[in-house]
Amino acid sequence: MIERLPELTKREWEIMNVCWKKKQLTIQEIIDNSPEENKRHYQTLNYQLEVLVRKGYLIREKKGPLWLYSPKITKKEIILKEAYYYVGYIINGYLCPTFINFMENKKISREELSKLKEMINNLPEDDKIEPERKDDKKSKK
């Protein structure tokens, strides 16, 4: 079973995006590095950072009079965990129809498409075989 961290709110994703850009930040540095439309009051941000620490996304460390916040998990790791959860538990492993739906409803750049083709073409043959799904077993009985 894939271990999931608690879900992030939109505001928490915005804070994490700032934190992922730097190694360690004070509350004021997070405010200063936030896009204008996402800026928070100091106390509000302090509370939200504490929630992110409790949820397991940030580490808080005392340096002199300041608290420094740093990501406990990389952006790539959280996106990968969420993607595996989505594929495995939400859509029951049916990746192809979901991927086709994304492709049909979102414009994809030539660069992104080229990268996807390259990744698919470079998969070892064993990795290209689709695993059996739970409901495929039932239909064979």
> pLDDT by residue (tens digit) across 47-79?
999 999 999 999 999 999 999 999 999 999 888
User: Considering only CA atoms, which of 64, 65, 55, 75 is closest in space to residue 14?
Assistant: 75
Which position has the higher pLDDT, 61 or 8? Answer: 61
- In the structure, what pLDDT confidence band is assigned to residue 141 with cuts at 50, 70 and 90? very low
Give the bridge partners for 70, in sequence order.
59
Q: How far is CA 101 from CA 40, 90, 97, 126, 130, in A?
A: 36, 15, 6, 25, 19
Which domains are assigned to the chain?
A: 1-93 (1.10.10.10)
Residue 127: both structure tokens together: 């990795």
Quote the pLDDT of residue 130.
Answer: 55
Quote the pLDDT of residue 106.
Answer: 74
1 pLDDT more than 50: no
Which position has the higher pLDDT, 36 or 107? Answer: 36
> pLDDT by residue (tens digit) across 87-127?
777 667 677 777 777 777 777 788 888 888 888 888 777 65
Which position has the higher pLDDT, 99 or 8? Answer: 8
